Amino acid sequence: MRLRKRHRHHLSLLLCVAFCLFLAGCVGPRGDEAAALLADIAAGEGPSRLKQTTAEPQHSTIAYRRSGRVGAADLYRNTERPNGAVVVVPGLTPHGKDDPRLVAFVRSLARARFLVLVPDIANTRALKVSAGDSAPIGDAIEELAQLFAGGAGRSVGLVAISYAVGPALLALADTPAGRHVKFAVAIGGYYDIDAAIGFVTTGFYRLPDGSWRQGAANELGKSVFMRSNADRVSDPADRARLVAIAERRMAEPAAGASGDPGELVARLGPEGRAVYQLIANRDPGQTAELIARLPDTIRRELRALDLKGRDLTQIAGPVFLIHGEDDPIIPAGESVKLAAALGSRADLTLVERFAHVDAGTAGLADSLRLWNVAQRMLAKRDRP
């Protein structure tokens, strides 16, 4: 049943993109190319016009050393000479750079004559997000800039997905690699880390007028937060208990707190209990106080990840912000706030149906919006 529903979503988007293709014939080659790219992304591993007219992208795994750090990444290239280059940073997935959805996406970019580098970031596979990931992201940008130019260092693009948006923008703002980036794409990202955590744990999100929007708490997101921060708790026994509770929840997300092992919860020490209380909380008014009670190691990491109040002036832009208004993991208001912080460098696109990072759920109006973004991104690709 779930697969059939997904296929209907993809069919819907493909029909919408077909309409875009019709319009593209009246607009020009870049509009046609943008529509073909969107159709290929929507098709995943299935057939598309772009697949029929281009060779299968070449894939290799490379190793490199930057600033004393060893990095590894997957490199995807078209058989034709690339017009542009882009680093793609995946969101949290146990498959990391090898996630099938991500691989299909980057192959589409390679077919569109991008040289694509996907760095292997250990935290991604561990379902963790860390401000420290800005360093390997910066290394990947430096490596791709050199590969693309044959050693001279040229401009490249950056695509970041979900919670990877934070470390990716920190790489642009705080590392020398930012000078190489001529455009960035942030899909379903955050700005205020506390607001994002409050939405995941309680389902509530504060709107600009001060009122609350109520949705559903994200049980899987709670488990990921608990699991990813367990090793930042000082007591080894508490670490093990938090991991066990999180894994039980991840195995049965529908059960929520009712499936938590009561004996493990009862034995949590002060730090472990502070993490658990934040996860169990359903009152949005308590979120800030519960975050303040977290262990210092976790709070320091959250502050390092927070984009709110950060100096983002080193990001030259444009930054294409794409967010679904139906996002169940990070609310679209976060991209709105990020756009306000970036000012004229931001190019914000809100779509009604996107399911966090899945363009296969978009309708006609959404497809047209995404088509416009794709055209602008391809224009940046082609600009020296």
Q: What is the mean pLDDT of residues 226-245?
A: 95
Q: What is the CA radius of gyration of the chain?
A: 21
* pLDDT for the residue numbered 321: 98
* pLDDT for the residue numbered 9: 44
* pLDDT for the residue numbered 54: 94
* pLDDT for the residue numbered 359: 52
Confidence band for 275, pLDDT divided at 50, 70 and 90: very high
| Runs of H (alpha helix) within the chain | 2-27, 29-43, 49-53, 100-111, 122-125, 134-149, 165-174, 193-202, 219-229, 236-251, 262-266, 270-280, 287-292, 296-305, 333-342, 364-382
Q: Where are the domains of the chain?
A: 2-192+310-382, 203-305
* pLDDT for the residue numbered 367: 86
Whether the CA torsion 263, 266, 271, 277 is positive or negative: it is positive
CA–CA dist 375, 379 (Å, integer): 6
Higher pLDDT, 271 or 154: 271
DSSP state of 255: G
| Residue range 51-98, pLDDT digits in tens | 999 999 999 999 999 988 999 999 999 999 899 999 999 999 999 999
| Residue range 118-166, pLDDT digits in tens | 999 999 999 999 999 999 999 999 999 999 976 556 789 999 999 999 9
Q: What is the mean pLDDT of residues 8-33?
A: 58
2-192+310-382: CATH topology is Rossmann fold (3.40.50)
* pLDDT for the residue numbered 361: 57
* pLDDT for the residue numbered 302: 97
Mean pLDDT over each residue of the chain, to the nearest integer: 88
* pLDDT for the residue numbered 4: 37
- The answer on pLDDT for 15 being more than 80 is no
CB atoms within 10 A of CB 283: 12
- The answer on pLDDT for 250 being more than 60 is yes
* pLDDT for the residue numbered 216: 87
Structure tokens at 320: 């294409």
- The answer on pLDDT for 313 being more than 70 is yes
Confidence band for 193, pLDDT divided at 50, 70 and 90: very high
CA–CA dist 51, 62 (Å, integer): 25
Least confident stretch, 137-141, 243-247, 268-272: 243-247
- Looking at residue 53, its amino acid is T
